[in-house]
Structure 1
Amino acid sequence: MLQPQHDLSRQEEHTHTRCWVSVLSCLLLACLYVGSLYVWRSNLPRDHPSVIKRRCASVLLVSALSPAVVKTWMHWDNVIVDVSVWELMGVRLEGLIPAAILPLLLTMVFYLGPLVHSAMDNPDGFTRELQSALDVQSWRMCVQDAVWLRNQVVAPVTEELVFRGAMLPMLVPCTGPTAAVFTAPLFFGVAHFHHIREQRHLDKDRMGVILLVAGMQFLYTTVFGVFTAFIFLRTGHVVGPVLCHSFCNSQGLPDISSALQHPQHSALLFSYLMGFLLFLVLLFPLTDPFFYGAIPVCILAPSPASVC
């Protein structure tokens, strides 16, 4: 008569252990990623080309090792699936084109206000941006710019592969897809606290100001992480989060305070509001798994969930 209760206790203990293994594996990856930035000793600022090149090499190496961490986690947790580690991490061909276009379009809709703001202040800006996008010489100049490469290519690719592609498959079996969307970004947000050390080293601001900036950065990186985690689990691709990440890095945070002081603030605020409302309306339709095929990471979920 006591056997079922004993089996239930053992099952709960196994689940508890599995969750700890998943969380510690994610923590290990986050520490490896941030730690790799500081293996190079230098007194130069973070935007110096030599610092950027060394750090890019470090995080690219950690990203290349992240599938091995996921594979090791699968071995420890006895996770057996009929797809590859790369497919679990969102690197796959099925549904690739819509996965690259639709999430980016959704992100641009959210940025409708800032885009209209930019067009109002510089009517020729959009045309110039389009010409630059089609100009080989402009791309060559960008590729030669270390800061551009870091912000638009290396950071989006490596951060999304590690903090979304690798971490979400390890968290989904423990927390379920919906909770994983809100759990994984915490590692991403906390990872950005290393900027406190850099700002303190440069001694530019008082500690109170540095902590306030770090807190704000934690907030918006976590919120952004929730969005890209949602995109990853809805599409099963890492390319969408990477492109959204790169686009957001190019745009920065929406400057609502500047919009309020603009001569045409009513029209601008309307565009900000419309962008946000359209984003909410299109969030689920544009990320419908119908466009992307079967989602490999969702087979790890302990039970069906709305996000998948």
Structure 2
Amino acid sequence: MFTVPQPTRASLSLRDAHLINAALTLGYVLPLYLTKFTRLSFAKSLENDRAHSKGSSERWRDDPAVIKARLVSISVSTVASLCLMHYIVAAGQRDSLNVSERRWDATALSLGFSVRKSDALVHFVTPALFLGPLYGRYLSGDLPFMAYWTFNERTRDTFSWIGIRNYIAGPITEEVVWRSCLVCAYRLAGASNKFLVFFTPLSFGCAHLHHIWESYNMRGRTLRALKPAILVTLFQFTYTTLFGFHSAFLFLRTSSLFPSISAHTFCNIMGFPQLEVELRRFPHRRRQILIAYCAGIVLYIYGMRTWTIRPDSTFWFHGTSNQQ
């Protein structure tokens, strides 16, 4: 079976990898603002900094027309990123592979497009961390087939344009760009596993900073609106970067992109944990809720150490540089 040639020597410089990082990140975000179809529009400044109702002339990110245009934009950006990395991987293996292998096998495996039956448990690592929030939803009767969960409503939400963006297109394209492509580029530059886990997600977090513009405008585009917009965006940057650490680790440990995609989709469905809200809502279950949250953390650590082990991993045990 064909395997990915290991980076015994760097085929890219670290500088080249940084340039690829910048190009792919900007190539994903900037097109969202280049056309009137993908660009958001807002009313003039309001008298207060509270979120306002959408005006007839405004275009918000949840408008179906905006979502459709942006899905086209990010799809084109993602395909372009894959083409670039295919060219780089193929060029680096020109001397060692025949034409057919160079075109397909090396690129697919270098980007983590591999599926193993043994990866089944890996997809439960992220849900394990959310054991506390899942218990909170259980108490609310909001898990599948419980009192406040209906199949028709959930299906409609999932396959609405917002659902397609949040649960399908977003996770797939973002993981392809920031996990498959960027991790591949830095691996070709000889970066260590530690570098890949803790550095590459920073650009993923930065790619969400542009949401400050939306938040600022929706609060009235005033000086007072700037502070909450900054705080919300910084929180989102922190949360997405932390998720990026988790996703990059999964990707490297398993040499497969698909656990990262399923983790991304699951996190988008669950949202940020609301421990304080759940404790206030269910004070008689306070102890059980806290136990569930703690148990989730313990199970997550155990799962990360054991469920992600792949003796045949082509990524994890092959860092060749101490570049920082």
TM-based fold match above 0.5: yes
2:305 paired residue number = 284
Which range moved further: 262-271 or 194-203? 194-203
CA distance in 1, matches of 2:144, 2:155: 20
Q: Which moved more, 1:214-223 or 1:15-24?
A: 15-24
Is the 2:250–2:308 Cα contact (8 Å) retained in structure 1? Answer: yes
- Residue 205 of structure 2 is matched in structure 1 by 189
1:30, 1:192 → 2: CA distance?
10
In the TM superposition, 1:87-236 aligns within 5 A as 87-93=109-115, 95=116, 97-99=117-119, 101-122=120-141, 125-128=143-146, 141-142=156-157, 144-172=159-187, 173-204=189-220, 206-236=225-255
What is the aligned partner in structure 2 of residue 272 from structure 1? Answer: 293
C-alpha distance 259-40 of structure 1, shift in aligned 2 (>3 A): same
Distance 1:119 1:17, change over 3 A: closer
Flag the 1:30–1:79 CA change in 2: closer, same or farther, 3 A.
farther
Counterpart of 2:15? 20
Partners of 1:25 and 1:69 within 8 A in 2: no
CA distance in 2, matches of 1:130, 1:247: 19
Quote the offset at 1:176 in angstroms.
Answer: 1.3
Instruction: Quote how far apart the aligned CAs of 1:216 are.
Output: 1.0
Instruction: Tell whether the 8 Å contact from 1:119 to 1:126 is kept in structure 2 after alignment.
Output: no
Q: CA deviation at 1:92?
A: 2.1
Aligned residues: 281
1:216–1:151 Cα change, 3 Å: same
Cα deviation for residue 138 of structure 1 reads 6.2
How far residue 115 of structure 1 moved from its aligned partner, in angstroms, is 0.6
Which consecutive unaligned segments of at least 5 residues does structure 2 have?
A: 1-8, 42-58, 98-104
- Shift, 1:142, TM fit: 4.4
TM-score by length of 2: 0.78
1:61 corresponds in structure 2 to 76
Residues 1:85 and 2:103 aligned together: no
Once the two structures are TM-superposed, the CA of residue 75 in structure 1 deviates from its matched residue by 6.8
**3-state SS of the aligned residue for 1:229?**
helix
Match of 1:8 in 2: none
**1:113–1:275 contact (8 Å) kept in structure 2:** yes
Counterpart check, 1:259 vs 2:278: yes
Contact 2:11 2:92 in 1 (8 A): no
Query: CA RMSD, aligned part only?
Result: 2.8
Corresponding position of 2:34: 39
Structure 1 CA distance, aligned partners of 2:226 and 2:96? 48
Q: Distance in 2 between matches of 1:111 and 1:39?
A: 38
Maintained 8 Å contact 1:22/1:73: no
Moved more, 186-195 or 211-220: 211-220
Q: Any idea what the Cα deviations from partners look like across 1:168-225, whole Å, max 9, x if unmatched? A: 0111233212211111100100000010122223344611111111111111110000
Higher helix share: 1
